[in-house]
């Protein structure tokens, strides 16, 4: 599918399902962002590709996130690896920093974060709680070799260790 056809498909999908949560890479990311999904979750490198430039400072990342919001994207969540995640929406900007963990594998960390975002949103949690949850899920995911989070007390303990601050 060409990037143009993907953008068209995403636009038609959005007209029927306005709350699209979008996480992709490369050409599909750039094409999908043109359709203004409701929530996007690129990582910093993917955001740099979209922006067409390096984003060395957090202010640069936030400016790029706001540029996506100006395109009609309601929620922009940028995963920052070990630095955590940034969420920008109409209510503000938050940065969540996970505690240091022993990294076993980073495979699936972004998908785990998206899973945490979806769960928090479905449970109608606040943006702050949802970002804390998603960051904790991703931190747990990289610290183990198995797939999935089944130990709720372990997740609760990790959530308590996530440093969440408004960014300003």
Q: Out of 23, 102, 111, 163, which one is annotated catalytic?
A: 111
- Domain membership of residue 71 (yes or no) is yes
Q: What is the pLDDT of residue 113?
A: 92
- The DSSP call for residue 99 is P
Are residues 65 and 100 both part of a single domain?
no
Total structural domains within the chain: 2
Going by their DSSP bridges, the two strands 92-97 and 85-89 should be labelled as antiparallel
84 in a structural domain = no
Mean pLDDT per segment of 10 residues, for the chain of length 168 residues?
A: 84 83 82 88 94 95 96 95 93 94 86 92 93 94 78 91 90
pTM: 0.90
**Domain extent for 30:** 1-79
User: Distance of CA 160 to CAs 57, 130, 154, 156, 164, Å?
Assistant: 27, 13, 10, 6, 10
- Are residues 74 and 127 both part of a single domain? no
- What φ, ψ does residue 75 adopt, rounded to 5°? -130, 125
Question: Is 111 noted as a catalytic residue in this protein?
Answer: yes
Residue 133, in any domain of the structure? yes
Q: What is the pLDDT of residue 102?
A: 87
Domain termination site, one of 29, 46, 79 = 79
Q: Is the dihedral of CA 61, 116, 35, 19 positive or negative?
A: negative
Give the containing element (helix H, strand E) for 28.
Answer: helix 26-33
Kind of pairing between the strands at 85-89 and 39-40: unpaired
Q: In this predicted structure, what is the pLDDT of residue 19?
A: 87
Question: Do 53 and 104 share a domain, yes or no?
Answer: no
């Amino acid at each position: 599918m060409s990037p143009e056809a993907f953008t068209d498909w995403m636009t038609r999908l959005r007209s029927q399902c306005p709350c699209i949560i979008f996480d992709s890479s490369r050409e599909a990311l750039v094409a999908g962002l043109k359709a203004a999904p409701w929530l996007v979750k690129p990582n910093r490198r993917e955001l740099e590709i979209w922006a067409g430039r390096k984003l060395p400072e957090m202010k640069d990342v936030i400016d790029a996130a706001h540029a996506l919001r100006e395109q009609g994207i309601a929620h922009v969540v940028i995963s920052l690896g070990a630095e955590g995640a940034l969420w920008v929406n109409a209510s503000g900007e938050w940065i969540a920093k996970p505690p240091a963990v022993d990294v076993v594998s980073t495979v699936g960390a972004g998908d785990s974060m998206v899973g945490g975002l979806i769960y928090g949103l479905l449970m109608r949690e606040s943006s702050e709680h949802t970002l804390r949850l998603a960051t904790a899920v991703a931190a747990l995911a990289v610290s183990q070799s198995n797939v999935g989070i089944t130990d709720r007390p372990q997740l609760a303990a990790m959530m308590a260790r996530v440093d969440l601050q408004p960014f300003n």
